[in-house]
Structure 1
Amino acid sequence: MQERIWPDLHELPENTVTPAQYSYRQLSRSDVERLSQLVRRWHPDVGVGIGRVFSDPQYYLQNVSLAGEADKDTIVYVGVYEGEMICVMCLEINLLNRTLFNKFGACAPQHRGTGATLFAGYAIDALAAKLDIAMAWGYVTTKTRGMQQMVERAGFNPVGVVKFSDIELNAEGEQRPVTEAIYAKYYKQHDALEPIREANLTPKLRALCQALDVQVLE
């Protein structure tokens, strides 16, 4: 029998941050077709590029840990309001270095700003404690402030900016490269890391470390 990767949600500490009218569950096989349709509706701009897989049922069936089935490195949680799915988050674990990658998140427009997506910060923190995670990270769009503000409130900090990291559709339906910020949150002490030494850095990387307040030894 395959060893479990992901704990059940009821095994995690109580979620006291997500408004009570929203419930979350692990994605099940019976949810896949409907979720794929909803993602296309919520975020038509991700119909190309990396995000397009989240509109494809086969992606979930082949790559995601589905409720009651064998665990895989990727898990999806869906938020539910009055019986309908209204948001989704996708996490991937790297078991070798104990990191979590926030691969994707989306929310129905009418539920944005309601607190429904506060579950994301809660889930990452709770899983980090349960699974002995060292770092969680992900890409955040620079097109709007909303996602940046949400992840910063959850304790994440920007550590870089990447141009051409993805492709999305603009308002005219044209494919355009987008720029995203990389955000990270650390759960282990920095003194557990191999120290960064100034002699090993180029001037540009040294300047970046200074801007990010990363300790560098002489």
Structure 2
Amino acid sequence: MRKQHCGDVMQWRDLKEMLAGLEGPPDYSFEQLAREDIPQLTQLLRTWYPDICVGTESRHLEPSFYEREVFLRGEAPDRPLFAVLSRARDSRDIIGLLTLEKNVRGLQISASMGAVEPSHRGLGLGQYGLTLLETIGRSIGAEVALYYSTLKAARGQLNAERRGFQLVGIVPAFDMDAIAPGTVKRVYEALYAKVLTSPERIHLPDWNALIPSTRALFTHLFGQHPADLTALSERTLRHG
């Protein structure tokens, strides 16, 4: 039987170890966030991403958030979040941040936030966020990776699908966002998932326990349930 709550389950490790074998973008490097980088990072985020002042992601503007919740380089790994800095190889400037959050009890990993300095957007760096999410997730033993994408632009949605993440829902009123200067509203976000474990570890829901609307959504997302296929085959034989 799997021991799910032992101390060695889903432990963050050295970033190079977790990314072993992953070839990163040629013009950028990845490193674990260090305590001394926090003041500069929080100031940079305010200039890169003005909308961050509201909603769940606003916690990334608070130095205390990193000190309390994030596994910082050279410090205790028993924190729920890991922060990956991106630097330009030539200048060593910080030009990106990705934060990942683990749920040890559920063996889940999710991307809390990704941000790239505006002049470096569209050059391919942002596409590595989902690769890092999956690679680090597999390295620490996560069995499913979750990713919420904004619906303000198509790029995040396309990146998720290109990397094998499946759209499993759209969550209404998921979070707060600045949709225009001086206007903050609750917004829809798309939820993507990628299973990182073997099929035999996954239990399909009982078809008879699903109501019609749930059956319709299940079929739309994942294809026909085996029990539904069996029933269809039996109906065809009876009326064929």
> Which category of TM-score, normalised to the shorter sequence, fits these structures?
over 0.9
**For residue 198 of structure 1, what is the amino acid of its counterpart?**
W
1:196 aligns with 2:205: yes
**For residue 82 of structure 2, what is the amino acid of its counterpart?**
I
TM-score under structure 1 normalisation? 0.92
Distance change (3 Å), C-alpha of 1:198 and 1:49? same
1:76 aligns with 2:80: no
- Say whether the 8 Å CA contact 1:197–1:216 is kept in structure 2: no
Query: Where is the helix percentage greater, Structure 1 or Structure 2?
Result: 2
Cα shift at 1:118: 3.3
Deviation track 1:111-168 (CA, whole Å, cap 9, x = no partner) reads 1111122332332232233222211002100110011112222221110001110111
Aligned residues: 216
Moved more, 95-104 or 60-69: 95-104
Cα shift at 1:214: 5.0
Instruction: Work out the percentage of aligned pairs sharing the same amino acid.
Output: 31
What is the aligned counterpart of 1:113 among 122, 126, 135?
Answer: 122
CA distance in 2, matches of 1:35, 1:205: 43
CA distance in 1, matches of 2:97, 2:103: 20
The residue aligned with 2:225 is 216
* Residues 31-46 of structure 1: pairs in structure 2 closer than 5 A: 31-46=37-52
Matched position secondary structure for 1:170: strand
1:166 aligns with 2:175: yes
Structure number with bigger Rg: 2
Task: Could you tell me which runs of 5 or more consecutive residues in structure 1 were left unpaired when the two chains were aligned.
Answer: none
CA distance in 1, matches of 2:33, 2:202: 35
CA distance in 2, matches of 1:214, 1:52: 38
Matched position secondary structure for 2:180: coil
TM-score under structure 2 normalisation? 0.84
The residue aligned with 2:234 is none
The residue aligned with 1:124 is 133
**For residue 70 of structure 1, what is the amino acid of its counterpart?**
A
Distance change (3 Å), C-alpha of 1:195 and 1:19? closer
CA distance in 2, matches of 1:152, 1:80: 26
The residue aligned with 1:8 is 14
* Residues 74-113 of structure 1: pairs in structure 2 closer than 5 A: 74-81=81-88, 82-113=91-122
CA distance in 1, matches of 2:139, 2:118: 32
CA distance in 2, matches of 1:30, 1:24: 16
CA distance in 1, matches of 2:128, 2:170: 25
CA distance in 2, matches of 1:6, 1:215: 38
Matched position secondary structure for 1:212: helix
Moved more, 92-101 or 61-70: 92-101
Distance change (3 Å), C-alpha of 1:215 and 1:127? farther
**For residue 122 of structure 2, what is the amino acid of its counterpart?**
G
**For residue 164 of structure 2, what is the amino acid of its counterpart?**
G
Task: Could you tell me which runs of 5 or more consecutive residues in structure 2 were left unpaired when the two chains were aligned.
Answer: 1-6, 228-240
Deviation track 1:1-36 (CA, whole Å, cap 9, x = no partner) reads x868212122132332x3211001011101111111
